[in-house]
Amino acid sequence: MPDIHWGYGFPIGGVAATRVSDGVVSPGGVGFDINCGTRLLRTDLTEAEVRPKIDKLLDELYTSIPSGLGSSGKIIVSQKELKEVMTRGSQWALEKGFGQADDIEATEESGCLKGADPDMVSAHARKRGIPQLGTLGSGNHFLEVEAVDEIYNREAAAAMGVYEVGQVLALIHTGSRGFGHQVCTDYLKVLAEAVQKYGINLPDRQLACAPVDSAEGRNYLAAMACAANFAWANRQFIAHWTRESFSRVFGKSSQEMGMRQVYDVAHNIAKIEEHRIGGRKETLCVHRKGATRAFPPGHPDVPAMYRKIGQPVIIPGDMGRYSYVAVGTETAMEQTFGSTCHGAGRMMSRGAAKRSLKGADIARQLAEKGITVKTCSLSGLAEEASAAYKDVADVVEVTHRAGISCNVFKSRPIGVIKG
Amino acid sequence: MPVPKDFETLEHTADTGIIAYGKDLKQAFANAARGLFSLIAELESVNEVLERDIEVTAADRDSLLVAWLNELIYIFDTENILFKRFDITRLSQHHLVARGYGERVVRARHKLKTGVKAATYHMLAVEQEYGWRLQVLFDI
């Protein structure tokens, strides 16, 4: 993908598809932050209504959504409830009163990846996950209040409930937190042994893998599904608190503000999918690490409301510029295993960004551009500054012209919560 | 030749690593762990008010280094302990026993820097050259 950058083992911004019958599955092809992804909410509010109250809104969001390093969640689940989170994802969170019923249809896999088996998840991962459920996290994770900036495809935008420039959106970017990190750590160890057992030669131990159709491969996929579901529940909680915060500030219910979920999509995941290879239908394990599923119009896995336009793809940029929403295409099915880019892609190391940019200056520069930021880490702000990233406009121009996703609209941030 | 320093950070596009040194492997492992916590927080603000025993096992020495650092990340995430000093009491190819000294996070007083998701095997190096040199890349 054009947002590709150097990672560890597999690059970030890559898609690796392997045949289930004789291929391998690799945790490194998914990454540590299993089901890191984005969730976009639309509103009927306009920028003119939100701007005067942006400070108050960010304060509310910052108070109601735990963020930053070492923060713990407001949701305390028991081991038994954690099992429900692992197997049922968003759907469990909805049943507990978080969110609205139509969120589920507007989520990849309806927020619940099948095949999750909690017995494949270590005690370490559970213990690390429990306090972090319902937290945004740190690093590049964020919650943005955005305004629609430009609409390229009115029909597709309208299907997503986006009609005019200035309309306000909320974008959430987070994943499975320490739970997913530990699942990946645990299975790298398991698969390092599998590599020897199956006689696989690797140039880098981070590429550890096992046949998809082996006990080790199946166990990883079952644990990965638990982490994916944890992430979907996590975004379900955060979206709920986002709606509550908007309600408190604007004195209206989320229904009155039209706060519907546009879509929720993963960009670090492995999925078992059917694809046509050389005219033949094959069952593949598609690893997307820093890549987003981009299924075309008519695909059965695309929810009914989007079946005519294709699956929405959410492509966040850096916090100082803009983000894009696109739709999946038939070309993506033919050329990239139904995948497109996931974001801007880093260009500058965190250390270099911190040395050349100061968090306080970044906050001031963003304020001059009309973007208010709230963060508990000014050094973290410098690490995530625009200059550290490629311009996402260049990235989506490539994916659009290559035809692997079609741009629908662009939005720009007006307020940002950085973890 | 004297060992130049305890550890230094390693720049990488998306992530950050450390290079740790030691006159023996025990010291190098302890310095790698201090290097990890120097990414997470300003260590000057951390006091030695508690101690915790840590034990890890792994298939080989390289994996032991990764397992050691991942166990510390796990302890930080689950017990909120910031360590600033370590005594490695036993170290073999497959087994490490250590005691860490530090304190639990006090958000008002400790300057937290970066969250670390995991130690990776990418670019991992355990080399002996005068003293020991360890290189680890973290996903952050």
**How far apart are alpha carbons A187 and A102 in whole angstroms?**
34
Three-state secondary-structure class, residue A293: strand
Share of chain B above pLDDT 90, in %: 82
Residue B35 belongs to some domain of the structure = yes
Min CA distance, B90 vs chain A (Å)? Answer: 22
Closest residue on chain A to B75 (Cα): A128
Instruction: State how far the Cα of A174 lies from the Cα of B24, in Å rounded to an integer.
Output: 41
ipTM score: 0.91
Chain B, nearest residue to A193 by Cα: B59
What is the per-residue pLDDT across B89-118, written as a single tens digit (0 to 9) for each?
999 999 999 999 999 999 889 988 889 999
Higher pLDDT, B133 or A378: B133
Position B70 in a domain = yes
pLDDT of residue A370: 92
Q: b/e map of A311-341 (b: 16 or more CB within 10 Å)?
A: bbbbbbbbbbbbbbbbbbbbbbbeebbbbbb
CB A380 within 8 A of CB B40: no
Contact between B113 and A376 under an 8 Å Cβ cutoff? The reply is: no
pLDDT greater than 50 at residue A55? yes
Show residues of chain A in contact with B135, CB under 8 Å.
none
Instruction: Tell which wins on pLDDT, A385 or A333.
Output: A333
Task: Note which residues in 70-99 of chain B have CB less than 8 A from chain A.
Answer: 70, 73-74, 77-78, 80
Q: Interface of chain A against chain B, CB under 8 Å? A: 5-9, 12, 31-33, 68-70, 124, 127-128, 131-132, 137-139, 178, 181-182, 184-185, 188-189, 192-193, 204-206, 208, 346-352, 377, 379-380, 383
Residue B65, in any domain of the structure: yes
Residues of B in contact with A139 (CB under 8 A): 114-115, 140
Q: Is residue B136 part of a domain?
A: no
Task: Kindly report the average pLDDT of chain A as a whole number.
Answer: 94
CA-angle at A164, arms to A302 and A253, nearest 5°: 75
* Structural domains in chain A, sorted by start: 5-347+389-418 (3.90.1860.10)
* A185, pLDDT greater than 80: yes
Mean pLDDT estimate for chain B: 93
Q: Extract the runs of DSSP E, i.e. beta strands, from A198-353.
A: 210-211, 260-266, 268-277, 280-289, 292-293, 312-315, 323-328, 339-340
**Residue B134 maps to a domain:** no
Dig out the tokens for A147 from the structure.
């305004």
Q: pLDDT at position A359, please? A: 79
Query: A378 or B77: which carries more pLDDT confidence?
Result: B77
Check if the beta carbon of residue A113 is closer than 8 Å to that of residue A123: no
Q: Is residue B2 part of a domain?
A: no
Residue A355, token pair as written in the block: 């040395």
Structural domain includes residue B16: yes
DSSP code of A223?
H
- pLDDT value for B4: 64
Instruction: Please state, in angstroms and as integers, the Cα–Cα distance from residue A313 to each residue in A55, A160, A391, B98, following that order.
Output: 29, 11, 18, 47
Q: Tell me which chain A residues have a C-beta less than 8 angstroms from the C-beta of B140.
A: 139, 350
Which residues on chain A are in Cβ contact (under 8 Å) with B124?
205
Q: Which residue in the list A141, A287, A342, A400 is annotated as catalytic?
A: A342
Between CA A81 and CA A96 the distance in angstroms is: 11
Nearest beta carbon to residue B12 from set A6, A124, A377: A6
**A253-256 CB contacts, 8 Å cutoff, 24+ apart:** A254/A100
How do residues A277-315 score in pLDDT, each as one tens digit? 989 999 999 999 999 999 999 999 999 999 999 999 999
How far is A145 from chain B, CA to nearest CA, in Å? 24
* Three-state secondary structure call for residue A175: coil
Rounded Cα gap, residues A135 and A138, in angstroms: 9
Q: Is A299 exposed, middle or buried (0-12, 13-18, 19+ CB in 10 A)?
A: middle
Distances (CA, A) of A243 to A98, A135, A213, A227, A230: 10, 16, 42, 24, 20
Q: Residue B14 — very low, low, confident or very high, per pLDDT cuts 50/70/90?
A: low
Instruction: Tell me, yes or no, whether B71 lies in a domain.
Output: yes
Please check the confidence at residue B2 and state whether its pLDDT lies above 60: no
Domain of B118: which CATH number? 3.55.10.10
Neighbours of A55 (CB within 10 A): 13
What is the rounded CA–CA span in Å between residue B63 and residue B65?
5
C-beta neighbour count of A92 within 10 angstroms: 23
Q: In Å, how far is A391's CA from the nearest CA of chain B?
A: 16
* Distance between CA atoms of residues A304 and A108, nearest Å: 12
Using the beta-carbon criterion (under 8 Å), do B118 and A184 form an inter-chain contact?
yes
Domain count of the fold of chain B: 1
Domain residues for the domain of B106 are 7-129
Whole-angstrom distance, CA of residue A368 vs CA of residue A24: 50
For residue A124, the chain B residues in CB contact (below 8 A) are 74
What is the distance in angstroms between the Cα of B84 and the nearest Cα belonging to chain A?
Answer: 17
Whether residue B77 and residue A31 make contact (CB cut-off 8 A), yes or no, is no
The pair of structure tokens assigned to B82 is 């910031």
Is B125 an 8 Å CB contact of chain A? no
Task: Report chain B residues whose CB lies below 8 A from the CB of A193.
Answer: 59
Q: Under an 8 A CB cutoff, do B63 and A132 touch? A: no
